[in-house]
């Protein structure tokens, strides 16, 4: 996505992390609580100054008090995960401070067929073309 579209699209994004949704204890990872809700996340990467990505992800929180490591007591962290288990930190309360990618905004992702695994492979460009006013989209861009 061209950086010039960033400001207008970011206006539609939420930035307050949905902590209250992350209530399902993860079966594999200790101290992790997942949400069932999906979001389109706006992601920046410190390595690439003029690049913004949009990905469908689910929020989760990490609770340090439930970790087996005593040095994490009292800490919490916010992150996002996709269907393949790839995680990205949220800009507020990141879990993995050294990562290059970070989620800076998000909007709820809704689909009538929420049980369909194809949800995760949706072309985000088509979604944005249908969802946002045309003046916010550069229809000539090859990739959103």
Q: Which SS3 state, helix, strand or coil, does residue 65 take? A: helix
- Using one digit for the tens of pLDDT, what is the confidence trace for 93-130? 999 877 899 999 998 987 654 444 443 444 455 555 55
What are 45's strand-pairing partners?
Answer: 48, 101
3-state secondary structure at position 144? coil
Buried b (16+ CB within 10 A) or exposed e, 2-24: eeebbeebeeebeeebbeebbee
Q: What is the pLDDT of residues 12-68, one digit of tens each?
A: 788 899 999 999 999 998 899 999 999 989 899 889 877 788 899 999 999 988 888
* Residue whose entry in the numeric block shows the structure tokens 């400001």: 7
Beta bridge partners of 62: 32, 77
CA separation for the pair 141, 40 (Å, rounded)? 19
Q: How many CB atoms lie within 10 A of CB 139?
A: 8
- Which residue bears the tokens 């920046």? 44
Q: Which two tokens stand for residue 42?
A: 């706006």
């Amino acid at each position: 996505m061209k950086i010039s579209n960033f400001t207008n699209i970011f206006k539609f994004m939420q930035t307050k992390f949905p902590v209250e949704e992350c209530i399902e204890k993860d079966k594999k990872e200790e101290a992790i609580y997942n949400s069932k809700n999906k979001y389109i996340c706006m992601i920046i990467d410190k390595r690439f100054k003029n690049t913004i990505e949009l990905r469908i992800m689910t929020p989760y929180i990490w609770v340090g008090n439930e970790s087996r490591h005593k040095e994490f007591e009292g800490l919490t962290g916010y992150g996002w995960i996709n269907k393949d288990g790839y995680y990205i930190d949220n800009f507020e309360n990141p879990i993995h401070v050294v990562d290059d990618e970070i989620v800076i905004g998000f909007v709820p992702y809704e689909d009538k067929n929420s049980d369909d695994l194809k949800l995760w492979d949706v072309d985000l460009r088509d979604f944005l073309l249908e969802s946002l006013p045309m003046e916010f989209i550069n229809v000539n861009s090859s990739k959103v």
